[in-house]
Structure 1
């Protein structure tokens, strides 16, 4: 599957457990919503993904990607050390230019 460079980079950063690179795909004021919690700004997003990756050793495998203007949806198979692995999750993305302005994860 061919993904836009920014989405491919986000997946690669996650799979390489590089929280700094992962956070760079978000705007300075971006928000993330995951498992009932919200994170705002690159620093909080970096800390969130770093802690989640350390705890669950998550790896992403893109299954489907759809983009419509300023919104996109990435469906991924997520594997890791969490109960129910692997799991299918949807990443609902709102763009702010070429960076992510908001990400809402559903699974």
Structure 2
């Protein structure tokens, strides 16, 4: 599967539980929507993913990637320490200047 570099980096850093490198895939003003909460800016995103890594130890296996006009959708199997694992999640991404501007994760 041919993924943009920033998406490939996102998957790699998630699977290595590297919250700093994960956050660096995002712009300084990026927004993440996950589990009913909004995380704004690279620092908040870093804290959110560090907490999620500690709680869930989730890894991602990309299944498909689709680019649309204003967003891209990565479908990935997430496995970890959570009920229902593994599950397929959709990562709705807006990418500009080789950085993620927004990410919304849905089940």
- RMSD in angstroms over aligned alpha carbons? 0.9
Corresponding residue number in structure 2 for 1:45: 45
TM-fit CA distance, 1:85: 0.3
TM-score by length of 1: 0.96
For 1:43-82, what aligned pairs fall within 5 Å after superposition?
43-82=43-82
Corresponding residue number in structure 2 for 1:85: 85
Which stretches of structure 1, 4 residues or longer, exceed 6 Å deviation after superposition?
none
SS at match of 2:78: strand
TM-score by length of 2: 0.96
Q: What is the number of residues matched between the two proteins?
A: 107
The gaps in structure 1 that reach 5 residues or longer are none
Corresponding residue number in structure 1 for 2:100: 100
Note if contact 1:71-1:95 (Cα within 8 Å) is conserved in structure 2. Answer: yes
